[in-house]
Structure 1
Amino acid sequence: MTDTQRQLKFSQAINEALDLSLGADPNVYVIGLGVPDPTGVFGTTSGLQQKHGAGRVYDMPISESAVTGVVLGSALVGARPVMAHMRLEFAMVAIDQIVNQAAKWHYMFGGQATAPMVLRMIVGRGWGQGPQHSQSLHSWFAHIPGLKVVMPATPHDAKGLLVAAVEDDAPVVFIEHRWLYGIHGAVPEGLYRVPLGVPNLMRRGGDVTLVASSFMTLEAMRAAGVLGGQGIEADVIDLRTLNPLDDTLILESVHRTGRLVVCDQATYTAGFAGEIVSRVTEKAFGALKAPPVRVTLPDAPTPTTRALSNYYYPGVGHIVAAARRTLGLPYEDPTASIGPADRLDIPDTSFTGPF
Structure 2
Amino acid sequence: MTRRTMIEAIRDAMDVSMERNDDVVVFGEDVGFFGGVFRCTAGLQKKYGPSRCFDTPISEAGIVGAAIGMAGYGLRPCVEIQFADYVYPAYDQIVSEAARIRYRSNGQFTASMVVRMPTGGGIFGGQTHSQSPEALFTHVAGLKTVVPSNPHDAKGLLIAAIEDDDPVIFLEPKRLYNGPFDGYHDRPVKPWSSSDLGEVPDGHYTVPLGKANVVREGKAVTMLSYGTMVHVSLAAAEAAGVDAEIIDLRTLVPLDLETIKQSVLKTGRCVVVHEATLTSGFGAELAALVQDECFFHLEAPVRRVAGWDTPYPHAQEWDYFPGPDRIARALQEVLEV
Q: Same fold (TM over 0.5)?
A: yes
The answer to whether residue 285 in structure 2 is matched with residue 285 in structure 1 is no
The answer to whether residue 243 in structure 2 is matched with residue 233 in structure 1 is yes
8 Å contact kept, 2:16–2:204: yes
Output the CA distance in 1 between the equivalents of 2:104 and 2:233. Answer: 40
Number of the residue aligned with 1:326: 334
Report the residue type matching 2:255 in the other structure: L
Of 63, 68, 74, the residue aligned with 1:72 is 68
Number of the residue aligned with 1:315: 323
Report the residue type matching 1:198 in the other structure: K
Identical pairs, percent: 43
8 Å contact kept, 2:220–2:244: yes
The answer to whether residue 267 in structure 2 is matched with residue 257 in structure 1 is yes
Number of the residue aligned with 2:220: 207
- Within 5 Å, give how 1:83-232 maps onto structure 2: 83-126=79-122, 128-183=124-179, 184=192, 185-227=198-240, 230=241, 232=242
Structure 1 position 127, deviation (Å):
6.1
Output the CA distance in 2 between the equivalents of 1:160 and 1:312. Answer: 31
3-state SS in 2 of match to 1:40: coil
Structure 1: runs of 5 or more not aligned: 330-355
Output the CA distance in 1 between the equivalents of 2:158 and 2:106. Answer: 27
8 Å contact kept, 2:24–2:75: yes
Output the CA distance in 1 between the equivalents of 2:145 and 2:21. Answer: 22
Cα RMSD, aligned residues only = 1.3
Output the CA distance in 1 between the equivalents of 2:298 and 2:50. Answer: 55
Number of the residue aligned with 1:276: 286
The answer to whether residue 55 in structure 2 is matched with residue 51 in structure 1 is no
8 Å contact kept, 2:35–2:44: no
Structure 1 position 128, deviation (Å):
5.0
Cα deviation, 1:109-144, whole Å, max 9, x if unaligned, reads 112211101000111224652223211110110100
User: TM-score normalised to the size of structure 1?
Assistant: 0.87
The range that moved more, 313-322 or 101-110, is 313-322
In the alignment of these two chains, the number of paired residues is 320
Report the residue type matching 2:303 in the other structure: V
Residue 127 and residue 151 in structure 1: after superposition, are their counterparts in 2 closer, same or farther (change >3 A)? closer
Structure 1 position 108, deviation (Å):
1.0
Output the CA distance in 1 between the equivalents of 2:225 and 2:317. Answer: 21
Report the residue type matching 1:187 in the other structure: V
Residue 39 and residue 81 in structure 1: after superposition, are their counterparts in 2 closer, same or farther (change >3 A)? closer
3-state SS in 1 of match to 2:115: strand
Report the residue type matching 2:217 in the other structure: R
Number of the residue aligned with 2:56: 60
Output the CA distance in 2 between the equivalents of 1:25 and 1:216. Answer: 34
Output the CA distance in 2 between the equivalents of 1:87 and 1:127. Answer: 12
8 Å contact kept, 2:305–2:326: yes
8 Å contact kept, 1:75–1:114: yes
8 Å contact kept, 1:220–1:263: yes
Report the residue type matching 1:220 in the other structure: S
Output the CA distance in 1 between the equivalents of 2:71 and 2:35. Answer: 27
Output the CA distance in 2 between the equivalents of 1:191 and 1:310. Answer: 37
8 Å contact kept, 1:254–1:260: yes
8 Å contact kept, 1:127–1:304: no
Output the CA distance in 2 between the equivalents of 1:199 and 1:128. Answer: 30
Residue 17 and residue 61 in structure 1: after superposition, are their counterparts in 2 closer, same or farther (change >3 A)? same
Structure 2: runs of 5 or more not aligned: 180-191, 193-197
8 Å contact kept, 2:63–2:79: no
Report the residue type matching 1:81 in the other structure: P
